[in-house]
Each structure stands twice: as structure tokens, then as C-alpha cells.
Amino acid sequence: MHQSTHPTINVVLLPSLPLDTAGDADFGARIDQFNPKAKAKPSSGGEQDEAKPEESFPAKVKRIWLAKTGVDQRTYMQLFKGALAPTIAISAYQSTVWAETYTTIGYLCGIIAILSLPILPRAKYLQTMLTSVLVVCLGCAVALLAMFCTVHARLNSEGQQGSRNGGPGTSGLATGGAPTSTYNSSASAVAGVWLFVQIYAVSTYRANRPQFTIPSIMYAIFANVSMIYAPQFSSMAQAEAFAQKLLEAFLTGFAVSTGVSLFVFPLTSRGVVFNDITAYIASLRGCMQANLDYMRSLEDSDMFAPHRVNTAGDEVAGSKEAATFKAKMQALTGLHAKLNMDLPFAKREVALGNLGPDDLQELAKGLRQIMVPTIGLSSMPDIFQRIAESRGWDRQLDLSHATVDEAPNEEEKIRIESIQQWHHLMEKLREPYGRATTTIDEGLEHVAITLRLTSKKPARSAEYAAESNGDEPQPGEKGFAAYYERRSMDYVESRKDILRSWCSVHGIELPTNFFDDPYREDYQVPEAPAWMNADPRSPTRQRLRRQLFVCLHLQFLLWNANRKVYDLILHVEGLQASGKLSRTRLIVPGLKRLRKWARSMFAHDDEAHDDQQIDTGTNATTVYLGEAYRKKKDPEHLPPKTAWEKSSNMLRLISHVLASPESAFGFRCACATMSIAVVAYLHQTQTFFTRERLFWSQIMISISMSPTAAQSVRGFVLRIFGTFVAMLVDGHTAGVLVFYFVFLHGGVYIVVKHPPITPVGMITQVTLTLILGYELQVRKVGVQVATSNGQAYFPIYELAPIRLATVCGGLFLAWIWTVFPYPITEHSMMRKNLGRSLYLLANYYSVMHETRISWISPSAFIKFDIPIGGKFPRQQYQEIIALMQSTLNFMALVSLASTTFTELQEQDAKNEHNSEWLRDFRRLISQANVTSESLTTLLSLLSASVTSGTPLPPYLRVPEPFQLAQRLDEMDQDILSVRHIAEPGYSSFAVIQIGTRCVIDDLRKVLQLVKELVGELDFSYHIVSTTDPTRNSSSETLLYHSPFAENKKD
């Protein structure tokens, strides 16, 4: 959903995160609650078994409560706020002054207080409230204009005749000072037209601008209520009195909600961001620990074993450690998405704090740079699986403890040898990788402590201090950055030992100081193993090089993560040195940022990232984008040039708007609304409509309709469930405000903790308020006043089922008009979104910041779509989505590794040898002519076919990966020799090789799956005699061009 709207109305697909967040005062919750393993350090000596104290009963209850409900102190504050606002609005009705002011529409104050969502962070809430107030005022103005038309339509048809005192045959008093009149067909027809136009316009705009979902709901409620009573007024004085009371009820609900949001447990958007950063750091630490656990599991497992299938039939990683790592990475991805959504609001917020908007942006950027190599580390299980598939090892065998002598054939022997080699390598890598992980963990902890996101750790024990010589600074202490840099350099040096271990495993014995001076001409490999003298294209040499590349791939990612953490440490300590972290100041967004915020509020696309752009100066770089980034060309019209062409071209926008999917959705909403509203505009049923409160069924249509059938089915079921639950509760809590407040917590809990099923929570609260608010209203003003608006009085045990039936009827009609006259299913939306994502992938280098979330969102609703005809190919779509995410991750790794070469150029002056190797390598790369045009073309074709549903062109293939290593061997065999494997650029080259290969493998699978979905054009034909008895099984094919036949065989 667009970030300018509330996140609980149209929830995103990625792991949903609760709204309970820490405030700006303490910069968020403590980091240790997110990562309980963070305090544990890998033991360098023997394991210490300490007796754990017995858990007390209150501690046990608290632990179980948090595990089951997730409701801590901060979460309950949000639940309290959400339940308090409508409780205040309904409780205030017990005041005589309040009851006399709002008479029979006082319950609207509580409903508006619920729909205003006071649990939102301050910046989001104020933005939503500002637009809601403006929209409701606009709705009031339009309602007055519509009522002016209806009044004059009545006067023109019947003059000054007719009862206008709310007597028999009327709906009584709509509100104080607004008596209704008898039925008039002209006024009813005009009101019906106005209602249709308003619902159509607001629903179309809501579909086109999702950030206005909440204000659009407010407008729809105002329009529905006002247009039901509009044809029953005979003078503008009555209409104005009614509109004024209705507007006052809305604004009062806004006021109550605003007061609760700003003064009861205030929650700032900056506090949400700091909590996101806290959780982000903790998640990174958890991912690094999970990676270490997975690496250590490779010491005695078969890393080439196929992925196992769980009880649900889904393919999962082959080991528990790999599955844990993947799960932690998914959580990290969710946090990354949430931080990007919350950050723009925090940067626009006026607050007392320490860090400014640019500082928050830099922190988010630093964390994102650490996340990229972490994603690469999580791809290690996939890399091993791809190697197994390419070698034909993906069988149901676990050879982790097999010996070479047990191998039944040569291929299995090679597999066992590879497993044993990896076992030996992982044992050698255990200590250096453990130290590197500990260093990164301490660096992240230092960042959290410096930002005051967590408290300092307790002092080291005497044993630990003695072991570390007592002079190493702890995270959070002065001098830690220099200590971290020394630890990082130790890891860089240990990489040489790792590579020496790899050489030793494969029969290459190197001197201790070989990598200190690899250019010694007097060095020769003694008794070089046979594989080194083999042809570079031989299977053995390619297999061992692939193994070396995987090892270098892992080294590079750890080294890169280490370096990015160090960069973040320097940045955070720079903030501390400047005094920003210790000085509280008033933070006000700049004028330019406010202008961008104003534009983003009304923009169709998400322009939040504009806030992340740096102001351009005199030395700015201009980037000219290609045709793909410009507006699509119209094949029927040339670009307008003359003044007439440009002015008349604006008229075409009207047809474009009317023909848009948003307009179709608005038309459906209007038709569904009128399906019930027409009852109020007929002579025989006008008073019945008012008496039985059918306008709430009408309002539910405007609130609940969604652009696609599956979302409407889902909302239909959940809203009915929520109303049913509310009806059951009300049977036990009639008129009891305390219990009303308590039961409201349940609805708010669903909104806060389970955003995907928000309709249950919202409708539960609204129905509770409708039923109890009306009952309390009757008890305060009496039955005579309560029925003065034409609504019949029902006791609570009758009113609740009536409300349930009313809501169910409205929701059923909303669903009918979603699938009629033709359904806009989640299936078609998912196909089009998939096509758009493929098109974005075609832009190889900029896709990282374009889309991550939109692919997953539609697939979450597929199971709610009612199947008509054949089944939807859900499995193929899910596989394509997963492959696209994998492709995106490997593209990011290739981009990350490519930047290393640029950064290494800055170090040329410091190391002459690196300069010589890099110079030779760049020269050969420039001659290799590595391009990605073929991949871009392929992805563009896939996008077009999936979006339009047309078959793929014939004979379409994925280009083979450029054999860069082979090409470099042919040009200069020394460039990738053993003497250079310790070069930092060599590791980057290995990452590029692996990443590119994996991208090609993924796209090959994507192409095959897309062919299954949309088909492939086939111009072949075959001729068979009708007398041939085998004609139906003939496979002989004749083609017009024989070269095509050859290609077809390929």
C-alpha cells in the first residue's frame, strides 16, 4: 500500500510487524529483547556449564504470556489508546449537554473515533487527520449543494404543500431542528443521482490514490447518511441544521481521537523508526549467528543433499540450520521494508530529539549496506543445491558419513570426495569465521549502545578479562573503533591462512610467507598435483575452481559485511563526537522536504524516496534515462506539437479516466450502493428503510468493497465474523461501559498484532459501538426521543441480530458487485503484477530499489478467490516469484562485488602489486566484452507475454553465461593462478562468477515456467495421410526452414 495511508487498511505481504513501538524519549526498546543470544560470546576455551536459577512462577507466567500473545507494556499502551477514544465518545453521551447536542446521532462520534485510528504514530496520524478533516468538510459542502437541489426539486413539483413537521408518513426528526417531510419522487430521484455520482467519484479516487482510503471512507459515510435524508427535507433551513449536526458529530469524533492520540501514551514516528533500527540491528546479529551455525553444520553434513519436503508439501532447506537462517533473513527483509515505510514520516515530523532527518537516512543507508552481504550469505544453501543439480547429485541420498570406497560409481566418488573436502575446509574455517562473526556482532552491538538503543553490557568477569589481557575495549567504550579495525585486519590476514588450507587440501604446499610476496619469480610449486597441469576446461579443474570460488564467495561477503559495519561505526561515532547524540534540539523539516511531502500526498506513485535524494549543487551529475523510463508511446497519436493539439490532448484524459480500472471499480461501488439505496427512494419503502436502519448496510458497501474478488471474499467473511462476535459480546455487556472498554481491546489487538485480518478488528469495534451506543442513547434520552428520527426501538437482544443481518446483507451485495458483471480476480492482478516485476528485473542495475513487496502481496489472497473453471496455476506463480527474488538477490551481489573494483582503484598507490594485478585484470575485462543486452531483451519479452497473456516468441532461449574465467585463461593463464587468490579483487571476481551463473540458472527456470503459463508460438506443421492408421500418433514435423528444425531440436 502507498505509504501515505494507514498500513492496516491494505496490508502488505511481507512479514507483518506490530505497531507497538518505543517512543522517542528512550530511543526504542532494548536490543536484547530481540536477540537473546546477543550477549553470548563464542567460548574460546572449554564449555562452562553453569547451573541456571530456577524460574519463578511470575517470570514463567510472563514468559508464556509474551510468547502466546506478544502483549508487553508498550503493546498494551497501544491497545489502551485504541479502546479509550471510542469509550470517551460513547461515555460522554451520558452528559445531558452532550445528549442534547447530538440527540440521535451521538453514536457516530464513537464510530469516527474508531475509524480515525488513534493508535497511529503522530506524523502518520496527523497527515491522515488533516486529509480526513478536509475531505469531510468537502463532503459537507457537496451534501449541502445536493440538498439544495433536492429541496428545489420538491418545491418545483409540489410547491409549499406537504407535511414538513416530522409527522405521520415521514421519518420524523433526522436530528434536532431538522424535521422531515413526506415522500417526493423528484427529490428522491435527484438525491439518488447525487449519491451515485459521489460514491462513484470517491471510490474511483480511492482506488487511484490508496493513501486516501481512510478519508474516502469518511466521505462515503457522510454522503450515504446525508443523501438518505436529503429528499425528505422541504427547506434549506432543515437541510442546513442536519448537515451541521452531522458535521459536528464527525469533527467531535476527530477531536476525541486526536486528543487520545497526542496526549495518551504519545507515540512519535521517530520513535517507531528508532524501534525499527533497534530490531534491524538485532535481526542482523541474529542472521550472522545463524550463518555461523549453518557453516559449522557443514562440518559433518552433506551440503549437496536435496531439499526436503515438509508436511505441507513445500520444499524447504535440507538442514535445520539452513531453514533457521532463511527464516531469520525473511524477518530481516520484513524489517527492512517496514523501516523504509516508516522513515519518510519520521523525516517529516516536528519533534524534540537528537538526530535530524538526514542522520536517520544515513543510518538506514548504513544498515541497508550491511544487509546486502548478509543476503548473500543466506544464499549458500542455494549455491550448494545448484552445484548438486548441475552434477546430477540431487537424489535422495545423504552421503555425509560415506567413504570413497563405498562409492558405486565414479560420479558418486567425486561427490563423496567433495563432501569430505568441504568437511575439512569447514573445520579449518571454524575459528576464523567464528572470530569474524564475533567481531561483526560486537560492532553492531557498539552501534546500538552508541545510539543509546540499548544499555552497556556488565563488566567482564575476571577470567574473561585475564584471557583478553584486560585492555580490549568493550562495545560502547571509547577506542572500540580502533580495536574493531585491528580485529578486521586480523581477519583479512587470516584469509591467507584459509586459502593456504584450501591449497593444502588439494595437494598444493605453499611457503608460509607466499602470499606476502606472490610475485617471487624463484618460486615454483613443488610436485604440482596432476589437476593443476590439466586443461583449464577439464571437469576436475573446473570443479575445483568452482569450489575455490564458493570459498572466496563466502570470504568476500564476510569481509564486506565486516567493512560495512566498520563504516557504520565510524558514522555513529562521528555523530557522538559532534554532540548530536547528547544534545536535544527542536527538529523541523526543511521547506523542500515539506513540498515533497505535499506532492507525495496527492501523487499516484510512491514518491517517498524523493526525500532520500540529496540536493544537487553546481557539481551535479545529470543522468539521462532511456525510453523505457519515459511515458509509453501512443501508436495511434504522435506527440502533440501545436497549441491546439496540446489543448485538445487534455480532452483525451477524460476517456482515459472513464476507461481505467479505477473507474470501473468506482462504478461497481456506486451500483452496489444504489442497489440498497433505491429502497430509500421509493414511496412504499422510504420510511421502512429509515425505521430498520438499512443505511448501515449501504454504508458497509462503501467501506468494504475492494478492487478484486478475492479481497472482497476475504473481507466479506471476516467482517461477518467480526459482527457475529460483537453480537455475542453485546448480549452480555448491554450498557456497561467498563465492559465495552474491555472488549474493545480485542478489536484493537487484531489491528495492532494481526494486520492481515484487520477487517475483523475494525468491524467488531464498529458493531459494538453501533449496538451499545444506541442502547446507551435510548437509556439517556428515552425511547420517545430515540425514535423521533424514524428508527424503531428494539431491545438489545433484538437489535444485535438486526445489525448482523444488516451488515451481512450489505457485504453480500458488495461481493456480488465485485464479481458481476465480470470478476476482477486476484489471478489476473497477480499475472499483471508479475509482468511488471519482470519488466523491472530487465533494468539490471536499478531494480534493487524499485520493487520488493509488490510480488508477494497478491499471492496472499489467491486462496480466497472462488475458482471458476480450471484451477489457478498457483504453484507456477509461486515458483516464479521465488525465482525472481533469488535473481534479484544475486543481481545485488554482482552489483556489490562490482563496486569493489572501483574502490580498489583508490588503493592502487598504496600497494604496487595490487595495482599491477588490477591493471592487467581491467585490461582483460575490457577485451572480454561482457554485456547483459540478451538478458534485458529476454526479461522484457517475458514481461510483455505475462502482462498481456500472449504466447512467447518461438525458439526463445536464455543466453549462456559468459565463460569469463575460461576467456581469461585463454588470454593470460597467470591472471587467475594460485599466486593471486589472496587478492581482494579475486574474491570479487569469484562472487561475480557465481552470481552471474545463478542468475542465468534462475532465468532458465523462469522461462520454462512462463512457457507453461502463456505457451509458445509454434509455426511447425506435419502432414499425415488420412489412410495412415498411425496418423494420430505421428511425431514427424515439417518446417518451412530447415535451420529452424535444427534449432527446435536444440
pLDDT in tens, 761-783: 777 788 778 777 777 777 777 77
What does the alpha-carbon distance between residue 381 and residue 336 come to, in Å, rounded to a whole number?
Answer: 22
Q: Which residue has the cell 496490508?
A: 11
In contact, 571 and 362? CB cutoff 8 Å = yes
pLDDT at 699 over 60: yes
pLDDT at 333 over 60: yes
Percentage helix, strand, coil for the chain under 3-state DSSP, each rounded to 5: 65, 0, 30
Higher pLDDT, 744 or 459: 744
Kindly report the backbone phi and psi dihedral angles of residue 1038, in degrees, each rounded to the nearest multiple of 5, phi listed first: -110, 135
Candidates 284, 477, 481, 277; CA nearest to 359 is: 277
What does the alpha-carbon distance between residue 759 and residue 739 come to, in Å, rounded to a whole number?
Answer: 22
| Mean pLDDT in residue range 995-1012 | 86
Q: What is the CA radius of gyration of the chain?
A: 34
pLDDT at 427 over 70: yes
Give the count of beta carbons closer than 10 Å to the beta carbon of residue 792. Answer: 14
pLDDT the model gives residue 442: 94
Q: How, if at all, do strands 308-309 and 585-587 pair?
A: unpaired
Write out the H or E segment, with its range, that includes residue 587.
strand 585-587
Mean pLDDT check: name the lowest of 7-21, 708-722, 917-931, 993-1007: 7-21
> Helix 709-730 and helix 758-786: axis angle, to 10°?
50
pLDDT the model gives residue 569: 95
pLDDT at 730 over 60: no
Higher pLDDT, 877 or 89: 89
Three-state SS at 79: helix
What does the alpha-carbon distance between residue 528 and residue 514 come to, in Å, rounded to a whole number?
Answer: 16
pLDDT at 619 over 60: no
Long-range contacts of 1030-1036 (CB under 8 A, 24+ apart): none
Q: What percent of the chain has pLDDT over 90?
A: 22
What does the alpha-carbon distance between residue 91 and residue 669 come to, in Å, rounded to a whole number?
Answer: 34
Long-range contacts of 417-421 (CB under 8 A, 24+ apart): 418/304, 418/543, 418/547, 419/302, 419/303, 419/304, 421/505, 421/506, 421/547
Average pLDDT over the chain reads 75
pLDDT the model gives residue 20: 38
What does the alpha-carbon distance between residue 432 and residue 109 come to, in Å, rounded to a whole number?
Answer: 64
Mean pLDDT check: name the lowest of 230-234, 479-483, 853-857: 853-857
What does the alpha-carbon distance between residue 595 and residue 602 come to, in Å, rounded to a whole number?
Answer: 12
pLDDT the model gives residue 30: 37
| Mean pLDDT in residue range 122-131 | 90
pLDDT the model gives residue 930: 45
Cα distance between the two ends of the chain: 45
Give 644-681 pLDDT, tens digit per residue: 888 888 888 888 888 888 898 899 999 999 999 999 99
Kindly report the backbone phi and psi dihedral angles of residue 174, in degrees, each rounded to the nearest multiple of 5, phi listed first: -60, -35
pLDDT at 1032 over 80: no
Nine-digit cell at 784? Answer: 420517545
Assign 844 a pLDDT band (cuts: 50, 70, 90): very low
Candidates 502, 449, 501, 505; CA nearest to 478 is: 449
| Mean pLDDT in residue range 531-541 | 65
pLDDT at 31 over 50: no
Higher pLDDT, 245 or 315: 245
| Mean pLDDT in residue range 505-521 | 62
Higher pLDDT, 132 or 695: 132
What does the alpha-carbon distance between residue 224 and residue 75 come to, in Å, rounded to a whole number?
Answer: 35
Kindly report the backbone phi and psi dihedral angles of residue 585, in degrees, each rounded to the nearest multiple of 5, phi listed first: -145, 165
In contact, 142 and 198? CB cutoff 8 Å = yes
Assign 42 a pLDDT band (cuts: 50, 70, 90): very low
pLDDT the model gives residue 602: 67
Name the range with the highest mean pLDDT among 338-342, 827-831, 979-983: 338-342
Name the range with the highest mean pLDDT among 407-416, 451-460, 563-572, 1018-1027: 563-572
Candidates 237, 231, 222; CA nearest to 147 is: 231
Assign 192 a pLDDT band (cuts: 50, 70, 90): very high
| Mean pLDDT in residue range 213-227 | 91
Mean pLDDT check: name the lowest of 626-635, 733-742, 813-822, 848-857: 848-857
Would you give the distance in Å from CA 329 to the centre of its chain? 14
What does the alpha-carbon distance between residue 87 and residue 742 come to, in Å, rounded to a whole number?
Answer: 10
What does the alpha-carbon distance between residue 634 and residue 629 come to, in Å, rounded to a whole number?
Answer: 15
255 burial (CB, 10 Å; 0-12 / 13-18 / 19+) is middle
pLDDT at 919 over 90: no
pLDDT the model gives residue 266: 92
Higher pLDDT, 316 or 1020: 1020
pLDDT at 834 over 50: yes
| Mean pLDDT in residue range 936-959 | 83
Assign 172 a pLDDT band (cuts: 50, 70, 90): low
In contact, 287 and 328? CB cutoff 8 Å = yes
Residues 6+ apart with CB under 8 A from 731: 796, 797, 800
| Mean pLDDT in residue range 104-114 | 88
pLDDT at 982 over 80: no
In contact, 601 and 214? CB cutoff 8 Å = no
Higher pLDDT, 788 or 857: 788
Q: What is the amino acid identity at position 727?
A: M
| Mean pLDDT in residue range 811-825 | 75
Higher pLDDT, 798 or 128: 128
pLDDT at 5 over 60: no
Q: Specify which residues 352 forms β-bridges with.
A: 586
pLDDT the model gives residue 169: 60
Higher pLDDT, 200 or 532: 200
| Mean pLDDT in residue range 266-276 | 92
pLDDT the model gives residue 1034: 43
Candidates 423, 547, 431, 449; CA nearest to 490 is: 431
Give 369-381 pLDDT, tens digit per residue: 999 899 888 888 8
Sign of CA dihedral 417, 420, 425, 428: negative
Mean pLDDT check: name the lowest of 213-222, 274-283, 330-339, 634-643: 634-643
What does the alpha-carbon distance between residue 277 and residue 28 come to, in Å, rounded to a whole number?
Answer: 9
Q: What is the DSSP letter of 1021?
A: B
Write out the H or E segment, with its range, that includes residue 316.
strand 315-316
Helix (DSSP H) and strand (DSSP E) numbers for the chain:
34, 6
pLDDT the model gives residue 291: 93
pLDDT at 746 over 70: yes
pLDDT the model gives residue 817: 85
| Mean pLDDT in residue range 481-501 | 81
What does the alpha-carbon distance between residue 201 and residue 196 come to, in Å, rounded to a whole number?
Answer: 9
Q: What is the amino acid identity at position 43?
A: S
pLDDT at 275 over 60: yes
H helices of 264-398, where?
Answer: 269-297, 320-348, 357-378, 380-391
What does the alpha-carbon distance between residue 493 and residue 483 come to, in Å, rounded to a whole number?
Answer: 15
Q: Which residue has the cell 564486506?
A: 560
pLDDT at 1033 over 60: no
pLDDT the model gives residue 861: 44
Give 570-581 pLDDT, tens digit per residue: 999 999 999 888
Kindly report the backbone phi and psi dihedral angles of residue 1016, in degrees, each rounded to the nearest multiple of 5, phi listed first: -140, 135
In contact, 776 and 86? CB cutoff 8 Å = no
Residues 6+ apart with CB under 8 A from 713: 815, 864, 865, 866
Nine-digit cell at 423? Answer: 568437511
What does the alpha-carbon distance between residue 214 and residue 702 come to, in Å, rounded to a whole number?
Answer: 12
What does the alpha-carbon distance between residue 496 and residue 515 come to, in Å, rounded to a whole number?
Answer: 7
| Mean pLDDT in residue range 341-351 | 89
DSSP calls for 890-904: HHHHHHHHHHHHHHH
pLDDT the model gives residue 512: 64
pLDDT the model gives residue 887: 82
In contact, 194 and 149? CB cutoff 8 Å = yes
Kindly report the backbone phi and psi dihedral angles of residue 1025, in degrees, each rounded to the nearest multiple of 5, phi listed first: -65, 145
Name the range with the highest mean pLDDT among 284-298, 385-399, 778-792: 284-298
pLDDT at 791 over 70: yes
Give the count of beta carbons closer than 10 Å to the beta carbon of residue 654. Answer: 9
C-alpha dihedral (393, 547, 885, 608), degrees to nearest 10: 170
Assign 846 a pLDDT band (cuts: 50, 70, 90): very low
The CA-CA-CA angle for residues 273, 285, 559, to 5°, reads: 110
pLDDT the model gives residue 428: 83
Higher pLDDT, 845 or 186: 186
Q: How, if at all, do strands 173-175 and 178-179 pair?
A: antiparallel
pLDDT at 438 over 90: yes
Write out the H or E segment, with its range, that includes residue 396.
none
Assign 219 a pLDDT band (cuts: 50, 70, 90): very high
DSSP calls for 191-259: HHHHHHHHHHHHHHHHHH-GGGHHHHHHHHHHHHHHHHHGGG-SSHHHHHHHHHHHHHHHHHHHHHHHH
In contact, 238 and 154? CB cutoff 8 Å = no
Residues 6+ apart with CB under 8 A from 352: 24, 584, 585, 586, 587
Candidates 768, 760, 762, 778; CA nearest to 730 is: 768
Q: Which residue has the cell 588439494?
A: 506
| Mean pLDDT in residue range 351-357 | 89
